[in-house]
Chain A
Amino acid sequence: MESGPITGPVLTDAAAGETPLRPTDLSGVPAKPNPALAAGELDGTFWRRFVFRRPLTALILQRLGLSVGLLFAVSLMIFGGVEALPGDFATTYLGQSATPQAVENIRKDLGLDRPWSERYLTWLGGAVQGDFGTSWASKNSVSEQIGNRLGNSLFLAFFAALISVPLAVGLGMLAVQFRNRMPDKIINVISLAAISLPEFFIGYLLIMVFAVQLGVATFPATVYDSMTLTERLSAIALPVATLVLVVLAHMMRMTRAAILNVMSSAYVETAELKGLGTFRIIARHAAPNAVAPVINVIALNLAYLVVGVVVVEVVFVYPGMGQYMVDAVTVRDMPVVQACGLIFAAFYIFLNMAADILAILANPRLRHPR
């Protein structure tokens, strides 16, 4: 990152606090602008002046720009990757009856004879407007089918996140309060066990116990349009439980580590010497400063909930995006694969960008410049 003054120190300062021995003029960040600059003495481009006046807005604009750029790069990679796959739809589709003539006809029908750059631009032009073309296999509109499936996946991810995020942060704080004592150890062992088991194993285990032996849960977790909300919720109970167990440990341990790191800082010692109770110290003095790293790990896990549920969807026969994409890959249904890939990438980038921006907003130095 050589782009002007917005380099490392801005963000790391939030976590580490300022080293008193470091000369302030070396940190060279908007957090401490030279008084002379306010008077308009600053030379340089418009962007540079803007960065000094509105460091927060500038940083957020920069993150937004980077995300859009990244998304375009990813779209190119997805298209290139699919292009590089061996075999094509025509031969897979025709199977035994693939004569050169028939293959040629199908390729012409699908427009595969055009150069790849031309096809990329057509595809991208459509994708920007929300039109991902038609599926080669089913001849249906990809956007329509994905709309359905994506809704299902997000439904699942939403409820998994709703349960796992507060639970993880709460358990993390609890583990800090009882650091190295029994509750901390129990939380650690259980969450580690959960993260160590593969998700399909947890899934089958839950099915065996709750659906087969106890008979309290529904399996398979297939949902239909005609279901009511309550029916849907009871259908997704087991996949949500599986996902929660898988992502919980990571977030919980990160929360614990981030808060423990802050707990060794001088301002927590100050709070302790004020005679405050442990819970108040954790909640009021440690937590606000541990927000940035925790938000980052939460975003990663949310992204996993949307993107990485393929296995869970397959185990529970849940009609989500993951299953849809896997099916499309086996028949080389390129428009579907590309659309799914792009949407997954968009989610990933968006969540990470949101985490970045939230972490920036959580930094009082940037929120309240001098």
Chain B
Amino acid sequence: MPELLSVKNLKIEATSYPPGEPPKVVTLVEGVSFDLQKGKVLGLIGESGAGKSTIGLSALAYGRGGCGITGGEVLLNGKDILKLDRSGINSVRGAHVCYVAQSAAAAFNPAHKLGEQVIEASLRHGIMNRAEAQKRALYLFRVLGLPNPETFGERYPHQVSGGQLQRAMTAMALCPNPELIVFDEPTTALDVTTQIDVLAAIKHAIEETHTAALYITHDLAVVAQISDDIMVLRHGKTVEYGTTKQVIEAPKEDYTRALVSVRQTKRDEATDQSGTLLKIENVHAAYGNGFKVLHDVSMHLPKGQTLAIVGESGSGKSTLARVITGLLPPTEGHITFEGKELPRTLKGRSREELRRIQMIYQMADTAMNPRQTVRDIIGRPLSFYFSMHGARKTERVKELLDQIEMGSRFLDRYPAELSGGQKQRVAIARALAAKPELILCDEPTSALDPLVAEGILNLLMKLQEETSVSYVFITHDIAIVRAIADSVAVMHRGRLVRFGPKSKVLSPPFDDYTDLLLKSVPEMEIGWLERVLKTRRMESAGN
């Protein structure tokens, strides 16, 4: 069978301009080769910086930013598209090869209707006339399970949800009947419950239209559901390349094995319910403009334990953290900390009350002043809460750096000189510096690669053992809950759905929402998606 896409010995370089140094050429991808046949799916997997998006875009002869494809061949139906001129490339893009971006919300033009954008490429390349294109768009909206397919195209991007936009983006890529689609992390920005729908829709649409696909993701469990072959990438080089079955079930390389076994850790829950640290009773909260975000939420957390709050975006879990810190005063209800009621507002709390509750954010990047060194960042709570200065302060900062397994050579680095995982570690040290009894962790690992995230989770658990600090851990990831929680609160649309010890919350009988949430988490198992979809269909048939 002839190859549809054949990439040979690809080399991609970019010029970087470090401040104060001469520009230097960085090699992003080197020596990558693969073949893709008609109607097949190849999964490209790796952590951020592995070069997977860059490789995906090379199938469209596109270099993002300052990237340039400097070596190798990209043969589409036997013709090297890297040798085409501008108009030749334009006749490939959007006609033979299409692209689905990670964030459909940003990739759709806010100024035009969805329908117009979906059919634009087909019209501009003269593949079909307007009536045909609209008919095809309607068909695709149906296949992808979009609501009201007849009128869906009349809507603007801001008028539909994130999951629907991602499906619309897939429709946009499928519309001109391309031979190849590059999916660049199409479900990463979605909630698990939405992800499974989009995943199923993409899989169904690929099967229906016999299109080949490059599927880029960092989640091995996701790619296992959809691809025929898998290529594992690291630092722009191929680590392992084989069939999905071989890579998942019998990985050859250590790195692949680490990826496969990531998040298999589980911790037994602590059962000691004496000595309640934090108690939240019937809390309601609303934003200034009258939006009610939390309805009658109650939960509690024993000392030295971890309470995980799970839910999808918009469920009010971050808002609850803001209420606990006092950033957003509750409209009703009480929060008790070690038997004493906390003042509702930040202003009403004493410095000592502030010290005892610290917070870690999702984006360590934006939570740190880029113009302060690690020494200043970690030192600030030391001088603020404990009036430490000079040598004593430096000594303590060094201690903290050792505690987060980084060491004193990082003292005078700026946040920009740290990796994502290191930044989050510094944020943890900053919280720890105040010697808090409770740390609120707001999705601290969701912006990190799986292996790095696992390191952070292990660090948090180690610190809990050493200092018996308590955590409220906000996440949308059930695997994390299994790994670290003692008790679990499931939230949905601002209400508490389920609360209790981990073993109880995560075992049947389930309520409908928790059931949906648990079933939506992809498992590292070939055929998982089909199985879940089948049980869903059976359930809906039974109802």
Q: A residues within 8 Å of B by Cβ?
A: 4-5, 14, 17-18, 20-21, 23-26, 28, 31-32, 34, 36-37, 42-44, 48, 265-267, 269-277, 280, 284-285, 288-289, 364-365, 368, 370
Contact = CB atoms under 8 A, between A and B. Distances in A.
Nearest to A32: B158
A20 B106 contact: yes
B291 interface: yes
A267 B121 contact: no
Given A5-B289, A42-B290, A23 B313 contact: yes
A280 B124 contact: yes
A278 to B, nearest CB: 9
Given A36-B292, A274-B121, A276-B120, A365 B158 contact: yes
A364 B447 CA distance: 30
Interface stretch (B85-93, B129-137, B343-351, B426-434): B85-93
B109 interface: yes
A265 B106 contact: yes
29 contacts: A17-B106, A20-B162, A23-B318, A25-B291, A26-B287, A36-B292, A37-B290, A37-B291, A42-B290, A48-B290, A266-B107, A269-B64, A269-B107, A270-B101, A270-B107, A272-B62, A273-B98, A275-B90, A275-B92, A275-B93, A275-B94, A275-B121, A285-B109, A288-B109, A288-B111, A289-B111, A364-B156, A368-B158, A370-B159
B156 A267 contact: no
Given A274-B94, A364-B158, A44 B103 contact: no
Nearest to A265: B106
B445 to A, nearest CB: 14
B83 to A, nearest CB: 17
A118 B362 CA distance: 62
B106 A24 contact: no
Contacts of B125: 275
Q: Counting chain A CB atoms within 10 Å of each CB, which of B106, B111, B125, B189 scores highest?
A: B111
B68 to A, nearest CB: 15
A283 to B, nearest CB: 12
A234 B240 CA distance: 77
Contacts of A370: 158-159
Q: Counting chain A CB atoms within 10 Å of each CB, which of B64, B121, B125, B316 scores highest?
A: B121
B221 to A, nearest CB: 22
B182 to A, nearest CB: 9
Interface string B95-111: 10011010101111111
B314 A28 contact: no
Q: Counting chain B CB atoms within 10 Å of each CB, which of A5, A17, A48 scores highest?
A: A17
B109 A21 contact: no
B319 interface: yes
Contacts of B162: 20
B112 interface: yes
Contacts of A17: 105-106, 110
A276 B316 CA distance: 41
A268 to B, nearest CB: 8
Interface in B65-91: 89-91
Contacts of B4: none
Nearest to B447: A21
B60 interface: yes
Contacts of A269: 64, 101, 107
Contact of B106 (A18, A31, A277): A18
B189 A273 contact: no
Contact of A368 (B99, B109, B156): B156
Nearest to B95: A275
A265 B106 CA distance: 8
Interface in B149-165: 156, 158-159, 162
B289 A28 contact: yes
Contacts of A23: 313-314, 318
Contacts of B287: 25-26, 28
A285 B111 CA distance: 8
Nearest to A277: B90
Contacts of B112: 284-285, 288
Interface string B201-225: 0000000000000000000000000
B363 interface: yes
Q: Counting chain B CB atoms within 10 Å of each CB, which of A23, A273, A284 scores highest?
A: A273
Contacts of B313: 23-24
Given A275-B125, A276-B90, A276-B120, A20 B108 contact: no
B289 A48 contact: yes
Contact of A274 (B64, B124, B289): B124
Contact of B109 (A4, A289, A365): A289
Given A14-B110, A25-B319, A267-B108, A274 B314 contact: no
Given A25-B291, A275-B125, A370-B159, A266 B101 contact: yes
A24 B110 contact: no
A31 B291 contact: no
B91 A365 contact: no
Contacts of B20: none
Q: Counting chain A CB atoms within 10 Å of each CB, which of B57, B95, B288, B363 scores highest?
A: B288
A7 to B, nearest CB: 9
A360 to B, nearest CB: 14
A36 B292 CA distance: 9
Contacts of A48: 289-290
Q: Counting chain B CB atoms within 10 Å of each CB, which of A20, A269, A274 scores highest?
A: A274
Contacts of A42: 290
A34 B64 CA distance: 37
B299 interface: no
A275 to B, nearest CB: 3
B260 interface: no
Q: Counting chain A CB atoms within 10 Å of each CB, which of B92, B112, B363 scores highest?
A: B112
B316 A273 contact: no
A37 B291 CA distance: 8
B289 A275 contact: no
B98 A4 contact: no
B124 A270 contact: no
Contacts of B108: 267, 270
Given A270-B101, A288-B112, A368-B159, A28 B288 contact: yes
- The list of the 8 closest CB pairs from A to B, nearest first, reads A275-B93, A274-B94, A275-B94, A5-B289, A266-B106, A288-B111, A275-B90, A274-B121
A364 B94 CA distance: 26
A18 B105 contact: yes
A84 B256 CA distance: 81
B107 A267 contact: yes
A169 B41 CA distance: 46
Contacts of A20: 103, 105-106, 162, 189
B244 to A, nearest CB: 27
B293 interface: yes
Given A24-B314, A25-B319, A273 B110 contact: no
Interface in B404-450: 447
Contacts of B363: 21
Contacts of B109: 267, 270-271, 285, 288-289
A364 B111 contact: yes
Contacts of B156: 364-365, 368
B99 A25 contact: no
Interface string B279-292: 00000000111111
Contacts of B314: 23-25
A270 B99 contact: yes
Contacts of B106: 17-18, 20, 265-267
Contact of B124 (A265, A275, A364): A275
A232 to B, nearest CB: 40
Given A266-B103, A288-B112, A365-B110, 13 more contacts: A17-B106, A18-B105, A18-B106, A23-B313, A24-B314, A26-B287, A28-B291, A36-B292, A37-B291, A272-B62, A277-B90, A280-B124, A285-B111
Nearest to A41: B292
Contacts of B158: 18, 31-32, 364-365, 368, 370
